Structure 1
Amino acid sequence: MCYFACAIHLKGKPVTAMQFISDLVARGRYCFSTEEATDALGTTAVATRAALRRLRQKDELAMPSRGFYVVVPPEFRNAGCLPAGHFIPALMEHLGEKYYAGLLSAAEYHGAAHQRPQIFQVMVARNKPEITCGKVRVMFVARKNVAQIPTADFKTPRGYLKISTPAATAFDLVGYPNHAAGLDNVATILAELAEHLDGEELIRLAALSPIAWAQRLGYLLELVGAQKKTAKLAKFISEKNPEPTPLTPSRPFEGISQLKPWNILVNTLVEADI
C-alpha cells in the first residue's frame, strides 16, 4: 500500500495547513511528510514547518520522526498520537526500510500476550533509536535478515501492518528474551502460540536463524507441553549436530550435562505461567 501519493491541491487555490490535513483525512490518510505538505501548501519548507508546528501545539498533529507527521483524531488526543500499529507502516515506507512488528507486539496480535506490551516492538535491519510520540513508544530491534522473515498482513483502521508469523515470532522471542520480559514470559507466550505453529515453517525459520535459537525453542516448546510441534525441528537439529548451547548464555553453565535432542545446557529454571 502506498501512503505517500502525489500532493493534494484544491482546484489550484491556496491551501491552508488545516485544509490540507482535512482533505487527507477525508481520503482516509493520517500520515504525511514535510515535503508533501510543502508541495500542497505552495509555500517554503520553513513556512510549512511553522504552520505544522502550530497545529502540533494544538495537539492536531504529532511528529514521531523528523519530517514525518501523524494526524491525531479526537479519540486519540489523550494519547497524543495514533497507536503505533496505525502509523508504523507509513513511517517505514517514508524511511524506505523493511520492517515487521515482532516480539511481544506480534504475540499480542496473535492473541498470545497475557497483557498489552508497554512499548511497540518493530524489527528492522539495523539498529535505530527508540521513538516517542505522545504516550506511544516504539522500540526498534535489529535483525539483519528482516526482509527474509515471513510475515502476515494485519488490518488496522489505517491500513495493513506487517507482523511476524507465529513461527517467526517464536524464534524472535527465544532469540531476544531480554526484549520479551525474560524466559519465563517467553515460555508462557510459546504455550499460547503453540497451536498456531507448523513444523515445516519452524524448519524454514531455523534455516534463517542462529542454530542456538532453534535449540532453545525446541527445549522450551517441550517444556510447555508442545512436543507434537517439535519432531521436525528435532530432526533438523540432529542433522546439524550443533555444539551444546546454554539456555541462558549470561549465566554459568560449566559442568552441566547437555539435554538431548536439543544439545541444550539447562542452566536456569524456566517456569511458564500456564
Structure 2
Amino acid sequence: MGYFCITFMQAMSPENSSNSRPTRAEEPLRPRAALRAIQSQARYLFAPEEFGRLVGRDGDSMMVKKALHRLTLQGLITLASRRPTSYLIVPAEQMHYGAPPITWWIDDCLKRIEPHYYIALLSAARYWGSAHYAIQEAQVMVSRPRTTATPGKLKVTFFTKRKISGTPVVVVGSGVAPWRVSTRAATLLDLIRHQDDVGGIEAIARVAKDFSSQLDRRCG
C-alpha cells in the first residue's frame, strides 16, 4: 500500500503530470498575436529578438525576417532604428501617420544607448507652451551623432551635446510612457547654442518671452 501511494504521488507530481506541459501563453504566437502581446504592456517599440522569442524562432531567422517584412507592408509596423534594429507597432488610430507619437516610444528606444537623452530645442519649447513654430520634426539631444530617423511620416532630428548628463531635465510621467525633456531654462540655453538651426535670435526671443513669467531663476 505504501509503495502504491508513493508511485501514485510521483505520477501526479508537476514533473510527471500532463499539467506540466507549456501553457498557451508560453507556446509560439502568430505574428499579429505577438504584436498584441507587446502592445498589451503599453509598449510600441520592439527588437527582432523579442519578436522571434514570441513566435518561437530565432530573431535572425529567415522566417522572422519575412514575417516582419509582411507586417511592414501591411502598415502594422515600421522601422524605428537600423542600429540597433528596432521596429514600432502602428496602432490603428495612428495608421495615417505611419507611426505612433515619439513620446510613446523614444524612451524605450534610447534609454539604454543614450540614457541622458532629452526632447530639446523647439520640441521642448512646444512642450512648455511656446508654439510659435509648428515644426514638422521632433528635436532630440544626444551625446553622439545619430542619423535622422523617419518612422512613418515622423522625422526625428538628433542634436549632439558632449556634457549632456549635466543638463537639467524633467521626466514626464503622464501619457503612454515616460520621456525626458529639458527644463525651460535649459531649453533656452540650448536654443541659443543652436540658434542657426532654429531660426535665429528673433525666434529665441519669442520663446523667451513665453517663458519669462514661469522661469525659476534658481534651477530653471
Q: TM-score range by the shorter chain?
A: 0.7 to 0.9
Question: Aligned equivalents of 1:140 and 1:30: distance in 2?
Answer: 20
User: Which residue of the other structure, out of 72, 79, 100, is the alignment partner of 1:56?
Assistant: 72
Question: Aligned equivalents of 2:174 and 2:70: distance in 1?
Answer: 29
User: Which residue of the other structure, out of 13, 37, 42, is the alignment partner of 2:27?
Assistant: 13
| Alpha-carbon offset, residue 12 of structure 1 | 2.6
Q: Is the 8 A contact 2:125 2:131 kept in 1?
A: yes
- Give the equivalent residue in structure 1 for 2:19: none
User: Which residue of the other structure, out of 14, 19, 39, is the alignment partner of 1:25?
Assistant: 39
Letter in 1 for 2:197: H
Matches within 5 A, 1:49-198: 49-66=65-82, 67-93=85-111, 95-155=113-173, 157-198=175-216
SS at match of 1:131: coil
Question: Aligned equivalents of 1:129 and 1:103: distance in 2?
Answer: 17
Deviations 1:157-194 (A, max 9, x none): 32111000011001001111022121111111111011
Distance 1:17-1:93 versus aligned 2 partners, 3 A rule = farther
Distance 1:124-1:23 versus aligned 2 partners, 3 A rule = same
Distance 1:96-1:164 versus aligned 2 partners, 3 A rule = closer
1:41 aligns to 2:59 (yes or no): no
TM superposition score normalised by structure 1: 0.67
Q: Is the 8 A contact 1:72 1:82 kept in 2?
A: yes
SS at match of 1:197: coil
Q: Extract unaligned runs of 5+ from structure 2.
A: 1-22
Distance 1:94-1:21 versus aligned 2 partners, 3 A rule = farther
Question: Aligned equivalents of 1:180 and 1:193: distance in 2?
Answer: 17
Q: How many residues align?
A: 194
Letter in 1 for 2:126: E
Q: Is the 8 A contact 2:43 2:105 kept in 1?
A: no
Q: Which moved more, 1:18-27 or 1:120-129?
A: 18-27
Letter in 1 for 2:39: V
| Alpha-carbon offset, residue 107 of structure 1 | 0.2
Q: Is the 8 A contact 1:119 1:139 kept in 2?
A: yes
- Give the equivalent residue in structure 2 for 1:263: none
Distance 1:133-1:15 versus aligned 2 partners, 3 A rule = same
Q: Extract unaligned runs of 5+ from structure 1.
A: 1-8, 203-274
RMSD over aligned Cα atoms: 1.7
Q: Is the 8 A contact 1:85 1:156 kept in 2?
A: no
Matches within 5 A, 1:253-264: none
TM superposition score normalised by structure 2: 0.82
Letter in 2 for 1:119: E
Deviations 1:188-219 (A, max 9, x none): 111101122122226xxxxxxxxxxxxxxxxx
| Alpha-carbon offset, residue 91 of structure 1 | 0.7
Higher relative contact order at CA 8 Å, sep ≥6: structure 1 or structure 2? Answer: 2
Question: Aligned equivalents of 2:175 and 2:24: distance in 1?
Answer: 26
Question: Aligned equivalents of 1:37 and 1:136: distance in 2?
Answer: 23
The structure number with the bigger radius of gyration is: 2
